[in-house]
Amino acid sequence: MQGPRSLTEGSISRNLLVFMLPILLGNVLHSLNGSINSIWIGRFLGEAALTASANANVVVFLLIGGVFGISMATTILVGQHIGARDMPGAKRVVGASASFFFLSSLAMALLGWFAAEPLLVGMSTPADAMPYAMAYMRMFFLALPFMCMHAFIMAVLRGAGDSRTPLNFLALGIFLDIVLNPVLIFGVGPIPAFGITGSALATFIAQGVSLVALIVHLYRRRNPLCLHRDELRLLSVDWALVGVLVRKGIPMGLQLIVISVSSVLMITLVNRFGVDTTAAYGAAFQLWNYIQMPQFALGMAVSAMAAQNVGAQKWDRVNATARIGVIYSVLLTGTLVTLVEIFSSWALGIFLPVGSPALAIAEHLNRIVAWSFVFFGISMVLFGIVRATGAVMAPLAILACSLLLVRFPVAELMLDRWQADAIWWSFPISSIVAVVLAILYYRFGNWRHARMMAPQRAASSPRS
């Protein structure tokens, strides 16, 4: 029998690194999959199809933000029960959250099918892209239950200290998606050409197959968190648990929305300086996505590790996890920033044509902005630690303050004086504000007294 992996014992530095690397690799695979899908759609189906997928993906990103937050809440809840060696309590979380994820994803899929057209109209989707966007979005909504249940099971496994199994089946789903995309878009043999709908259909099939394979694998390995016939009562909706998932999950999901809104606001300022500056910013932004991947992976990893140690009441290990996580973040992000700076001409040249005036602009702005992600990464680690106790509002408030109340206003206020440099310098200024506030909250905040659930409710977990 394969049991949960305890993150409350042994070397913290080794456990954190081993746990974090599969999450990081999964994030890289996700990004590569999205890029490959966009290439198929954009290069072979044309601008209208690419515009359609871009508009549909805006809505999908909002849904993913909500799923991310609630799945992180599940990870923390499971992790706390595993750390406390409360397997019945962990199973109760699995049962109640499985029902919630399944029912809510079905409701979203049904609502999305009928709301696709008014959503796209409200986003001012170009008329020639509307038919493509409708077909793509509706098929994507059909895939939503598979995607949500996949995210749920991966969250449970990470809470139980297993990040390798989620990576294996994530890789399976992405491999199938990549292989099926051209087959279903263009048709092969008896398989008809579905056009842009085929791209979303590939995701539907890949997620479904990967989900079924993952469930079969867990039952074959007799994972102790699997529910059996005599435990099906645990699938009944526990509204106390659902309330926790929503109250704690939504603020975590909103952090992604804040980052997205900030990106939209900043691009509106960048666009004022013409196509070369916008192209330069877009090229640098692609590199920044990869620079930030270790930060998000570390944030998820330290949350799972800290949650288990919170459950075990091992606060010395929680503090050590924060310390080591910050060191890893600085080393990983600093190394990536240094490499990007050394090879900036080559790296940025991947996205910009040879001899383009945008290349010099991109090198200049990257030199100002890139090092700010070292500070931002420290904030992400500390946010991951404090939310492991259930303290989710302070990280959201700090992120909103630094990105929406500092970064954008500073850039806009100094725009006339510093021109485009005002935009670039707003990144390190806001990142320093974020890290200072995060450190202050970690040091002096009351996050250690936060709870995912009320003590009397948590104590009522059934025992066997």
Mean pLDDT, contiguous 10-residue spans, the chain (464 residues): 75 94 90 75 66 65 75 91 90 89 88 83 74 83 88 92 93 93 89 87 93 95 90 84 87 87 85 85 84 91 94 94 96 94 86 82 93 95 95 95 95 92 96 97 93 51 36
**Secondary structure string (H, E, C) spanning 178-198:** HHHHHHHHHCECCECCCCHHH
CA atoms of 52 and 47, how far apart (whole Å): 8
The first and second tokens of residue 437, run together, are 């506030």
Tens-digit pLDDT profile for residues 281-336 = 888 887 888 898 899 999 999 999 999 999 999 999 999 999 999 999 999 999 99
| Count of Cβ atoms closer than 10 Å to residue 355 Cβ | 8
Q: What's the whole-model pTM score?
A: 0.84
Q: Average pLDDT, whole number, for the chain?
A: 87
pLDDT value, residue 159: 92
Write out the two tokens for 152: 């749920």
Judge whether 402 and 343 are in contact, CB under 8 Å: no
Beta strands in 249-388 (DSSP E): none
Sign of CA dihedral 12, 80, 253, 427: negative
C-alpha span between 127 and 289 (Å, rounded): 31
The residues facing 191 across adjacent strands are: 188
Q: What is the model's pLDDT at position 455?
A: 43
**What tokens were used for 19?**
């746990």
Nearest-angstrom CA–CA distance, 171 and 362: 33
Q: Report pLDDT for 403.
A: 94
C-alpha 386/C-alpha 446 separation (Å) is 9
DSSP-derived secondary structure letter, 4: P
Matching residue, tokens 């004086």: 417
**Dist. CA 235–CA 247, nearest whole Å:** 20
Q: Please state, in angstroms and as integers, the Cα–Cα distance from residue 454 to each residue in 43, 268, 390, 445, 460, following that order.
A: 53, 44, 11, 19, 10
Q: At how many degrees (to 10) do helices 130-159 and 196-220 cross?
A: 20
> Directed axis angle between helix 275-311 and helix 239-270, to 10°?
160
**Residue 65: strand, helix, or coil:** helix
Of 112, 205, 97, nearest to 154 by C-alpha is 97
The whole-angstrom separation of Cα 299 and Cα 294 is 8
Contacts for 159 with CB less than 8 Å, ≥ 6 apart: 74, 75, 76, 77, 78, 79, 82, 90, 304, 307, 308
Q: For residue 63, which of 239, 250, 262 has the smallest C-alpha distance?
A: 250
Element (H, E) at 388: none
Cα(297)–Cα(150) distance, integer angstroms: 18
Give the three-state DSSP class for 188.
Answer: strand
What gap in Å lies between CA 218 and CA 225, rounded to an integer? 9
CB 316 within 8 A of CB 357: no
- List Cα–Cα distances, 51 to 132, 193, 260, in angstroms: 9, 20, 18
Instruction: State both tokens at 433.
Output: 């504000």
Q: 394 near 446, Cβ under 8 Å?
A: no
